[in-house]
Amino acid sequence: MINENHEVIVHNSRESFNELKNGNARFLAGKSINTNYLEQIEQTKRGHEAHAVILSCMDARVPPEIIFDQGIGNVFVIRNAGNLEDENVIGSIEYTVRYSSAKLIVVMGHSHCGAVTGALNDIQHGHLSQLVEQIKPAIKTDKSSPHILTDTAKFSVLQTISDIKERSESISELLKEEKISIIGAYYEVETGEVFFFE
């Protein structure tokens, strides 16, 4: 729920999900309301109550605060190539849901992902090699399929969600207690639309 000052007020993960969904709808309609960044800086200078944490790709075409019309202070954002989890990412998510205000974890992949393309092409170079190796288990579609890039990006999101649950006792405990939720999402860079799935 958004109040008259455009502050997002949520009480649970369902409300957080609805706000992200509605925010993307506003963005697509060209009716974003969280764009007065100087005002938001003033409102958040002493603290904030971000309602979700979003793990997304670092692709410059995928800015979560903008595509979900959340502005400054409404969402925690963690970004890396391929929207993958590691110890630092998991620790950051644990902080947001255990000691801060986030009610929802979103793992978001996107179309035309360079990291996924690198995994499909078996790119081997420096630290990039280990990154694409983490994506390769998500290659479940025949490589001749025209949908392999999309399918692999979506399967990689599901794999990351599974890994987060498996590797974090703290997050798993909060999920079992239904204090938080975790969902997957897929952003189409061609249209600006976000599709959610579990």
- pLDDT per position as a tens digit, 100-145: 999 999 999 999 999 999 999 999 999 999 999 999 999 998 989 9
Q: Tell me the domain boundaries of the chain.
A: 13-197
- For 32-76, the pLDDT digits (tens) are 999 999 999 999 999 999 999 999 999 999 999 999 999 999 999
- Contact indicator for 172, 193 with CB cutoff of 8 Å: no
The b/e string for 110-136 (b: 16+ C-beta within 10 A; e otherwise) is bbebebbbbbbeeeeeeeeeebbebbe
Distances in Å between the Cα of 15 and the Cα atoms of 1, 53, 61, 111 are: 7, 14, 26, 26
Q: What is the pLDDT of residue 4?
A: 57
Of residues 15, 78, 23, 16, the one with CA closest to residue 193:
23
CATH of domain 13-197: 3.40.1050.10
End-to-end CA distance of the chain: 23
pTM of the model: 0.95
**CA–CA separation, 82 vs 134, rounded Å?**
9
**CA–CA separation, 155 vs 159, rounded Å?**
6
- For 143-185, the pLDDT digits (tens) are 899 999 999 999 999 999 999 999 999 999 999 999 999 999 9
Q: Which residues pair with 55 in a beta bridge?
A: 78, 107
SS3 90: helix
